[in-house]
Amino acid sequence: MSSNNDDLERVKLLDIVFHKGIKTLSRMELERLQHLVEQKDYSHDAKAQKSKAKLLRKITIAIYDYDVKYGNSFKTS
């Protein structure tokens, strides 16, 4: 059942990104979306796999931007 819940959560977060933008998600939501998208297998669809990689890059950038703006314990400077 958790797979179904993960799919629903992934779709919900993607809907927010699509309608409001990636920067509206909290850092925790960004990390969760990153995890959920990484788990999803799109190997059967090359176009979807390419979109997945593009989205993961955007999520990584958004997490970095969030850390720069609000600070993060992993920052070295």
Domain tally, the chain: 1
Cα–Cα distance for residue pair 9/31, rounded to 1 Å = 13
Cα–Cα distance for residue pair 32/43, rounded to 1 Å = 21
Three-class SS state of 62: helix
Name residue, tokens 């390419």. 50
Structural domain containing residue 8: 2-70
Residue 29 lies in a domain: yes
Name residue, tokens 């629903």. 8
Q: What is the pLDDT of residue 59?
A: 97
Residue 13 lies in a domain: yes
Residue 23 lies in a domain: yes
Residue 75 lies in a domain: no
Residue 77 lies in a domain: no
What's the pLDDT tens digit per position in 18-63?
A: 999 999 999 999 999 999 999 999 999 999 999 999 999 999 999 9
Residue 9 lies in a domain: yes
Cα–Cα distance for residue pair 22/4, rounded to 1 Å = 23
